[in-house]
Each structure stands twice: as structure tokens, then as C-alpha cells.
Amino acid sequence: MSTPSPSATTATPATPAWVDTVRRRYLGGDASVFVLYRNIYDRILLDGKFVELEQYLFRSLLEGKKKRVLSHSIASGTQALAGRAFDAEAEPLDGIEQALTHESGTAVVIHYAGSLFPAGDPSMMTMQDRQAIAKLHRWSLDPQIGDSDNVVFLLVESLTELNAQILSNPRIATVEIPMPGQAERETTIRMADASLDAGQVTRLAQQASGLRLVQLFGLLGNDSKAPAPNDAEREALIRELIAGTEDAEARAKQLTKLTSGQTNEQIRHLLQPGSKAPAKGNAFEEIAALLRTRKRELVTQECFGLIEFVEPKMGLEGVGGMTMVKAELAAIAAAVRSGNVARIPMGILVVGPMGSGKTFVTKAFVREAGIPAVMLKNIRSKWVGATESNLEKVLAMVKAMGPIALIIDEGDRSLGGEGDEDGGTSSRVTARLKEFMSDTDNRGQVLFIMMTNRPDKLDADMKRPGRFDTKIPLFFPENGAERANIVRVILKRFGKAVEEPVPQDDDDGIGEGWMEAALEDTEFSNAELEALTLLSIDLAERGDGRLTREVFLQAAVDYMPTRDTLMIEYMELLAISEASRRSLLPEKFKHRTTDELHAEMKRVRSQLRL
């Protein structure tokens, strides 16, 4: 990646807060060994240029202050950034220890620290790993190292990669290097494209939340190198698509960078008239749209597929029935859009029996709120420590991307087993999630939305206010009118409608409310109503293509739902017990007392043998 000259930026960025933390703790004598974690592979702006973390440490903290600076990596060995070179014949850690204990003014930067001091059960480690951990532990406690003005930096992406004995050592300080904030992203965007005005810079910086500076500059910056063959082909296609529009030459180069990795079909979809992309000729809107696309690709790739971006197509207007629930969610969505943090819950727990529409309602709410959303996928791994590391990566990413909604579907299953059956992994994952969810700094930035039909399997402390402030209960529609409303919304979603006869031709006695009457005595769930609607559309397509009342009624008679009635009853009782407000309950459930509810739950549990 090319780097700009010092004149390319208008101001020197302030010293990062984490650097001040290192200085304060080192000068105060708190520690001489520092673990720097999280955003360690990014570039940092120094004197108008992007430099790697090691170079930043050397030039801003160590150069001219330490007589000897060593850099060690398990991949490339030990090198001297300043002072004497390292004795190649010595065992690396022994040589480093020799320098730290016998020389003053020595600094050591150790890359991939998790490979040298790995997490895990000591009894399962090799002797070499145990010796390495013991050596580092000894360095942190040796007063001679600190008194000799020596310092050690361990670089690791996630703390879960390091041995617990190291992290629990009070003489080893852990300092987080966070993902770039809004101000850092704005500075980078100004350097990458000086033609953007202040409003455009701010908007792009907001959209780029979650990207590293090196990624952001790579997408927007000008590169003087000749394009690769595939870049040249892509640029030729883009020139063809935007030919004759304003600033076509400059836009072609910019769009070529932003569309890296995309197919010709994807590029055409973004730039051709008639697509959902911004109109041709609007250069900034094209850049903004492509930045969003590339951000999703980069973030998904960086998280190893642990999260998936959610892009709902409709808001709460696409949800049938559920009047009180929609009103509650609409109020929360309005608070999110306005930035009224005091009215935004820390988390929303959506409960109800299977088929009640939890996933659909949640996605509709996210669109209504107007914030990006990601779905947590399977973070569990069979490797020791990998599950915890996956969770840390996801939490760090969503925090950097805020404001954002993190959706966890089937929360009772996503969080894993119970007790110690998985070596305590589930307990550690739950504890970390609870810690993150109760951090008030995340209010208005990371909105947790968890869906489950078995809230009784969730940790009781996780469900308390302060983590899940709002609990939304969903139930099957109560009557024929609600069911007919849902069917019509589903038909509208698929661009269909029942061809109903005019009133004078209606001679069967059903009248205009025929759908309500036909569905009155059913107990279909939302999901079953959708299946019924799709069946009616299918039957119409098999005939003359017309979806008539007769075809729908035929589908209603033919459709056979499969369900566990007793389990659904139990899930409804759980939803009632979890609801945060009585007004969110259907009329038939509103007046049940706590004693009545507990007695019914006890009866159903006994029948289910739970």
C-alpha cells in the first residue's frame, strides 16, 4: 500500500490513549512487561505516514531512549532494531533473558506471543512451552529488569491465545489497542481523498466503522503502481459502464479499487441503470455504496464467517397483527434513530413458541431502527480456547462497528451446553457475554437481540434488567381476523392477492369476511400461515395461475400442520412469565396471576417430564 507524504494530512493526530497508558504504567513502576492486544496488525499514523505497530513503538517510545531494541518472532527469529545484533547461536529466549538481566536500557518486542506462551492445561504442554511460560513469569518478577530500565512488549491479537498464568500475573500489564475511532477514520479518509468535503468525510467515516485504517486507506487511497491485469480488465468494464458521465476518468480509477474481488455481474448490478445502486453520475454515492459492500466482505472475512450481515427487506409494516408488540418495537426504533440513549435498552429478549415469527419480527425491527445488524453464527470450536477467542473477536468487531445490533438466534442453543460437560467453555462464554452486555458504555452502541423459545434454559442472571431490559413475548394469532391480516401481508410480500368476486356475485353466504371466517377455528402459527399461503400460491400456479378464493380455501382444507401441542403450551407459558410488560400480552393471557401461571407450568412440565 502506498503511503502519503507528510503534507497529505492537515493535522498531526493526537497520541493514542493506549500509548499514554503504557507510559504511565511503565514510569510508575507498575510493570515492565506489557501485553498489547486486539488491533495489532493495523497501521498507525505517525508523521503523516502509516507505520506498523513495531515501527510505531520503536519510533515513538523506544528510539533514542533504549540502547538496545530487539524484535523476536517465532517465524523470523530475533533481529536488532537498535544496538548490538543478537547472538544467532543462542536459544532465543535464553538470549533475550541474558540481555534483559545483564544490560540496562533494553527493549524487546515479541510477535505472535500466543505461539510462544500458549493457552492450555500445563499438563498437556510440551516441556518447551512450560519453560517459555516460566521464563516470562520470571522476567516480570525480576526487580533487576525493571530497575535497569528494560521493557518487554508481547503482541497478541486476543488475550485468549495467551497462557492464563501470564494474564493473572499482576506485574504483567495488558493494554488494548482498540479499533480505529471516528476521528482516526476521518483523518485517514482525508489523506486518501482530499477532494471530499467535510460532510462526505464524516459520512464515509461512519460507514467505515469496524474497518482497520490499512483497509480503509487501501480502499479509498490512490495507488501509483500500475494495475494488475485483472484490475485493468475491471477498470475497462467500469469505464464502459459510466462512459459519458461527469468525472468518469477519476471515478473509474476509484471504483476499480473499491470493486476489487467482485465479479463483472456484481459490478454491472451496482453501476448499471435500473439496479438498486445509486444513479449513474453520482460519484460520491457510488463510493459510499461500494464502501458498504466492501466493508461487509472484509469484516465477514476477518471474523472467519463467525458473523453474517443481516439485510432485511421490510420494516414493521410487513408484520401482520401483533399491534402492541409493533408499537413497543416502533418506539424503541425511534429512540435508536434519534440517538436517545436513555430510551434504548441494553438488550431485547424475544421469546415465544416456534413459528411465532421471532426471526421475522426481529429483522423487521432492525430495518425500522435503521442500524446495521449482524447475526452471530456458530462460534464453538473443538480446540481449547478457540471458542473464547472467537467470541472475543466478534465482540471487539461489533463494538468497533457501533451503533449496531448483534442478533443471537436460538440463544438457548447458541451458548452451548450446561455445567462442565464441555470443559467449562459454556460457562466462560456466558460469563464473558454477561460482562459485555452489562457494560453501560455499550448502551446505544451495541444492541443485543436474542431469540429463544426456551428462555428457561438461559442463565437466569443473563436475563435480568441491565442486560435484557426489554422482553418481547410473541404468540400465535388469536382469531380469524389476525390470521387473515397476516395472510394478506404475506401475499403482499410475494406480490400476490386473492382475486375476490364482487359482492353481487357472492352467493355462498360467506361475504367479504370469508378469509377471517375460514381461519377462525384454526390455530395456525405465523410460520404455518406462511406455509399455507405459499401452498395456495402453488396450487394457483398448477392451475390457470389465478389465486382465487376457491383456491385458497382448497389450500386451507388440504394443509396439515405438524406440531407438539403440549410443548407449544409450555413455550407460551414461558413467554408469559418472561414478558417485561403485561400490556404486551394477548387479552386471554393478561389477567393470569403468578400463582396460576406457576401451577400451569408445573403441570405441563410434569406431563413433558422436564
Phi-psi region of 600 (alpha: psi -120 to 50; beta: other; left: phi over 0): alpha
pLDDT value of residue 193? 83
Q: Please tell me the number of Cα atoms within 13 Å of 86 on its side-chain side.
A: 27
The sign one gets for the Cα dihedral 439, 440, 441, 443 is positive
Residues 384-393, mean pLDDT to the nearest whole number: 84
**224 or 574, greater pLDDT:** 574
- Rounded-to-integer distance, Cα 201 and Cα 205, Å: 6
Beta pairing class for 172-177 and 446-452 = unpaired
| pLDDT(315) > 50 | yes
Residue 509, exposed/middle/buried by CB under 10 A (0-12, 13-18, 19+)?
A: exposed
Find all residues with CB under 8 Å of 473, minimum gap 6, and list them: 325, 351, 352, 575, 576, 578, 579, 584, 585
Q: Are 135 and 93 in contact (CB under 8 A)?
A: yes
Per the structure block, which three cell numbers stand in for 574? 414461558
Give the residue-averaged pLDDT of 374-382. Answer: 86
pLDDT in tens, 585-601: 988 888 888 899 999 99
What pLDDT is recorded for position 405?
A: 96
pLDDT value for 277: 42
Which residues have CB under 8 Å from 597's CB, separation 6+?
A: 573, 576, 577
Q: Has residue 256 got a pLDDT over 80? A: no
Of 149-163, 194-208, 272-286, 365-379, the range with the lowest mean pLDDT is 272-286
For 375, 376, 497, the CA distances from 300, given in Å and listed in that order, are 11, 11, 38
pLDDT value at residue 4: 44
What sign results for the dihedral spanned by CA atoms 597, 602, 607, 608? positive
222 vs 8: CA distance, rounded Å: 12
Angstrom distance (rounded) from CA 595 to CA 598: 5
| CA 84 to chain CA centroid, nearest Å | 45
pLDDT at 503 over 60: no
Contacting residues for 402 by C-beta, under 8 A, at least 6 apart: 209, 442, 444, 445, 446
What value does the mean pLDDT take over residues 267-294? 65
Region for 73 from its dihedrals, namely left if φ exceeds 0, alpha if ψ lies in -120 to 50, beta otherwise? beta
The residue behind cell 407459558 is: 573
Residue with cell 443481516: 310
More confident call, 222 vs 265:
265
Cell 421471532 identifies what position? 358
Other beta carbons within 10 Å of 448: 23
Q: Please give the distance of CA 169 from its chain centroid, rounded to a whole number.
A: 31
Nine-digit cell at 204? 464515509
Helix (H) or strand (E) holding 214: helix 213-220
Please report which confidence band the pLDDT of residue 269 belongs to, taking 50, 70 and 90 as the band edges: low
- Separation CA 479–CA 384 (nearest Å): 51
In this predicted structure, the answer to whether residue 349 has a pLDDT above a threshold of 90 is: yes
Mean pLDDT calculated for residue range 565-573? 94
Domains observed in the chain: 6-177 (3.40.50.300), 184-303 (no CATH), 308-473 (3.40.50.300), 475-610 (no CATH)
Q: 312 burial class (0-12, 13-18, 19+ CB within 10 angstroms)?
A: middle
Q: What are phi and psi of 104, to 5 degrees?
A: -100, 155
Euclidean distance between CA atoms 516 and 525, whole angstroms: 15
Closest C-alpha to 319, from 458, 486, 437, 475:
486
Q: Is 70 exceeded by the pLDDT of residue 389?
A: yes
**Integer Cα distance of 150 and 26 in angstroms:** 10
Spatial separation of the C-alpha atoms in residues 282 and 251, rounded to whole Å: 10
Name, in order, each residue with C-beta under 8 angstroms of 203's C-beta and a sequence gap of 6 or more. 288
**181 and 196 Cβ atoms separated by less than 8 Å:** no
pLDDT in tens, 439-471: 999 999 999 999 999 999 998 899 999 999 999
Distance CA 344, CA 217 (A): 33
CB 120 within 8 A of CB 162: no
Confidence of residue 272 (pLDDT cuts 50, 70, 90): low
pLDDT category, 276, cuts 50, 70, 90? very low
pLDDT for residue 9 is more than 50: no
Q: What is the pLDDT of residue 90?
A: 65
Residue 174 has pLDDT above 70, yes or no: yes
Beta bridge partners of 499: 548
Spatial distance between the Cα atoms of 161 and 364, rounded to a whole number of angstroms: 38
Q: Check residue 250 and give left, alpha or beta (phi > 0: left; psi -120 to 50: alpha).
A: alpha
Range with the poorest average pLDDT among 43-52, 138-147, 159-168: 138-147
Rounded distance between C-alpha atoms, residue 35 and residue 44, angstroms: 18
H or E stretch at 594:
helix 594-608
User: Mean pLDDT, the chain, as a whole number?
Assistant: 85
pLDDT in tens, 40-92: 999 998 888 889 999 999 999 999 999 999 999 988 889 999 998 876 666 78
* Top-confidence residue, 427 or 375: 375
What does residue 474 show for φ and ψ, rounded to 5 degrees? -120, 140
Better-scored residue on pLDDT, 82 or 259: 82
Q: Average pLDDT of 499-503?
A: 67
How many CB atoms are closer than 10 A to CB 339?
Answer: 10
Whole-number pLDDT of residue 280: 44
Instruction: Give me the pLDDT at residue 52, please.
Output: 95
pLDDT band at residue 511 using 50, 70 and 90 as cut-offs: low
Percent of the chain with pLDDT strictly greater than 90: 50
Instruction: Please state which of the ranges 140-154, 243-257, 403-417 shows the lowest mean pLDDT.
Output: 243-257
